[in-house]
Structure 1
Amino acid sequence: MPPNIPSTLGVLLAGGLARRMGGGDKPMRTIGGRTILERVIARLTPQCDRLILNANGDPARFSAFGLTVIADDVPDYPGPLAGILAALDWTAANRPEVEWVLSAAADCPFLPRDLLARLHEARAKENAQLAVAASSGQSHPVIGLWRVDLRDALRHSLTVEDIRKIDRWTARYRLATASWPTEPLDPFFNANTVEDVAEAERLAALDAAS
């Protein structure tokens, strides 16, 4: 954990069904000789107090990465909010002293090395309850800071109100935004398609040089 930043647990969201990839786990695709998930772990490990992985199905497929794997506890794969809720619940049960969770998509190989610090800075400056990342004027709602004590409200929204979209839920709270430049590359580029993986190979060379 960087100094002067509240203790924060990181959750990598890999619960999606990867339909645009023809099924399978997007984070297990290889870029520049390393899996996308390896790259995400390397980016966030120095920033967070601990990392866990949200994924559904057999957790053994991720055993090589050494992370605790937690599944959604809301049925029917309602989307990333379910993974965030699972992480908030896990943190409350296992790390009750931790008040914040950082969520990030597990298919974003070039995440900023100052992601956590700048999100906390934006949150504190605006006295916000949540913070989200942005680049080139576009918000990335999956990548953000969440207060653990909002988990009961989030569970109600998911299970009773059937709210699935992150930005619909975050609109109820004070939300800060931290923005990053997109040169030499967008740090929130994510590999959604096979073509994206090919583009990521090119970007990996830029990232290594930056």
Structure 2
Amino acid sequence: MKPIAGLILAGGRSSRMDGSDKALVILKGSTLLERAVRRIGPQVDHLAINSNADASALPSLGLSIVPDRDTSFSGPLAGILAGLDWAAALPEPPAALVSVAVDTPFFPLDMVARLSGDSENRIVVASSSGMRHPTFALWPLSLRDALAAFLADGATLKVSAFIDDHPNATVEFDLDGGEDPFFNINTPDDLRRAQTIAEMLD
């Protein structure tokens, strides 16, 4: 299998979490960032974190912190572009980058293998219950210039819009113990729900 790089998207502003940085929210004794590293780390050959926070405020995890190209908070696509830039600069650049969102603490432990198995130089997006999760996707490095141009155009910042403009595929993931593996935490209520799910699944 060709090398695959991984990127944890942690660059959002967490506006619905009482101003707390979601990457640093605690779930069962670990930050969401630490939890994401443990889940995605073994699945990839290289790993970085996309964050626009002060690097000194993040846990010391021995990983590269990759900020967006600018400070306009252009959403996940800006983070994905930053990740593609980082991956392209590695001594032996991988063929693709897999992104995950830091606020989704139960994503599958076999996700990268399943997404990369259906790549063929196209974007491959995770799905559950028939719903795509665009921030959980495999991105060929060959799309880096196209993504930069898409963001520069500024017509839309929707991840799905960029995906739909290029060859893509979807991989469906089953529910885990009746729970959506892509359940994400946006609010304090979601965090309480995640605590309950973690007690069942961890």
Same fold by TM-score, threshold 0.5 exceeded?
yes
Structure 2 unmatched runs, 5+:
none
- Aligned twin of 1:121: 117
CA–CA separation in structure 1 for the residues paired with 2:59 and 2:175: 33
- The one-letter code matched in structure 1 to 2:190 is D
Q: How many residues align?
A: 201
CA–CA separation in structure 2 for the residues paired with 1:36 and 1:97: 27
- The one-letter code matched in structure 2 to 1:133 is A
- Aligned twin of 1:206: 200
SS at match of 1:156: helix
User: C-alpha deviations, 1:34-88, integer Å up to 9, x for none?
Assistant: 2111111111111000210000031111142222101100341110000000010
**Structure 1 residue 180 corresponds to structure 2 residue 173:** yes
- Equivalent pair of 2:121/2:140 in contact (CA under 8 Å): no
- Aligned twin of 1:17: 13
CA–CA separation in structure 2 for the residues paired with 1:87 and 1:202: 32
1:53 to 25, 49, 53: 49
CA–CA separation in structure 1 for the residues paired with 2:16 and 2:154: 28
CA–CA separation in structure 1 for the residues paired with 2:143 and 2:121: 13
- Aligned twin of 2:105: 109
SS at match of 1:39: helix
CA–CA separation in structure 1 for the residues paired with 2:83 and 2:192: 31
2:85 to 73, 85, 89: 89
User: Cα distance, 1:96 vs. partner?
Assistant: 4.2
Structure 1 unmatched runs, 5+:
none
TM normalised by structure 2 equals 0.94
1:149 to 122, 134, 142: 142
**Structure 1 residue 68 corresponds to structure 2 residue 61:** no
* Cα RMSD, aligned residues only: 1.4
- The one-letter code matched in structure 1 to 2:109 is R
TM normalised by structure 1 equals 0.91
- The one-letter code matched in structure 2 to 1:187 is P
Structure 1 stretches of 4+ moved >6 Å? none
Share of identical aligned residues, percent?
Answer: 38
